[in-house]
Amino acid sequence: MAYAIFFILVLLINFIYNLSKFKQCIKFINWYEKWLIDSSFTVNLAEYKSDVKSLVENAGIKNKKIPYEEAIGFGHFRTMTIDPIEQFPHRVGVVAIAILRTLSDAKGIYRKRMYSSFNPIAWVETILTLPKMIMRYIGFENSKKLINVMQIIWWAFVVIIIPTLIAAYTPELSSFIRGSFKKISEFY
């Protein structure tokens, strides 16, 4: 019973966390659009630059660069590639569109994560690719060989060791599951 409550609590916390990030994305998109259109909009968006950057980074959107060109005088232009979120808030059309698209991408990612909290297929996928997710979180995304080796070791663990443990402890697991269902039915 305690495991079921813990599992439901984790799902609920994950849902609420991603819902709050989703709503923050909506808020910043609305504020930024108002700031672009209405010169009397009084919110100082520069104060929220770190919040916007954090939202985008936590969504997993990295190194989104766009080409940018600006006049430097006497008919000369400087061309470069820039990260639009690093320029937040910016009124130039190309940069503003890129910022809005990036925030919309983050909003979509948080929506997907929010609904994945209750999707059993997403949880199975998470369990199967757990080493890959951990390695990317740690910062080993470019080390594909290491990630693949860890993934193979994990699958061997999941396919060989866990079924062996289940076979060895079937009576204990069976009584645990029956007891859990019995407690759940008594609860309702």
Q: What is the DSSP string of 85-139?
A: GGG-S--SHHHHHHHHHHHHHHHHHHHHHHHHTT-HHHHHHHHHTHHHHHHHHHT
Q: Are residue 175 and residue 125 in the same domain, yes or no?
A: yes
Q: For residue range 92-149, what is the model confidence (pLDDT) as tens digits? A: 888 889 999 999 999 999 999 999 888 888 888 877 888 887 887 777 777 788 888 8
Q: For residue range 162-186, what is the model confidence (pLDDT) as tens digits? A: 778 778 888 887 787 787 777 766 7
Q: Pick from 118, 141, 156: which residue ends a domain?
A: 118
Which residues fall within 8 angstroms of residue 176, CB to CB, at 6 or more apart?
none
From CA 116, how far away is CA 127, in angstroms rounded?
13
Q: Are residue 57 and residue 75 in the same domain, yes or no?
A: yes
Can you tell me whether residue 66 is helix, strand or coil?
Answer: strand
Domain of 161?
Answer: 119-188
CB contact at 8 A, 61 and 106? yes
Q: Are residue 58 and residue 130 in the same domain, yes or no?
A: no
CB contact at 8 A, 122 and 133? no
Q: Are residue 41 and residue 113 in the same domain, yes or no?
A: yes
Q: Pick from 78, 94, 118: which residue ends a domain?
A: 118
Q: Are residue 126 and residue 139 in the same domain, yes or no?
A: yes
The domain total for the chain is 2
From CA 1, how far away is CA 139, in angstroms rounded?
37
Q: Are residue 127 and residue 113 in the same domain, yes or no?
A: no
CB contact at 8 A, 104 and 32? no
CB contact at 8 A, 109 and 59? yes
Q: Are residue 158 and residue 87 in the same domain, yes or no?
A: no
What does the pLDDT read at residue 110? Answer: 95
Q: Are residue 109 and residue 124 in the same domain, yes or no?
A: no
Q: Are residue 78 and residue 138 in the same domain, yes or no?
A: no
CB contact at 8 A, 147 and 132? yes
Q: Pick from 68, 97, 118: which residue ends a domain?
A: 118
Tokens of 81: 């590639």
What does the pLDDT read at residue 174? Answer: 79
Can you tell me whether residue 81 is helix, strand or coil?
Answer: strand
Q: How confident is the model at residue 22 (pLDDT cuts 50, 70, 90)?
A: very high
Q: Are residue 110 and residue 129 in the same domain, yes or no?
A: no
- Is the pTM here over 0.85, yes or no? no
Q: Are residue 152 and residue 173 in the same domain, yes or no?
A: yes
Q: Are residue 7 and residue 42 in the same domain, yes or no?
A: yes
CB contact at 8 A, 110 and 22? yes
Q: Percentage of the chain with pLDDT > 90?
A: 29
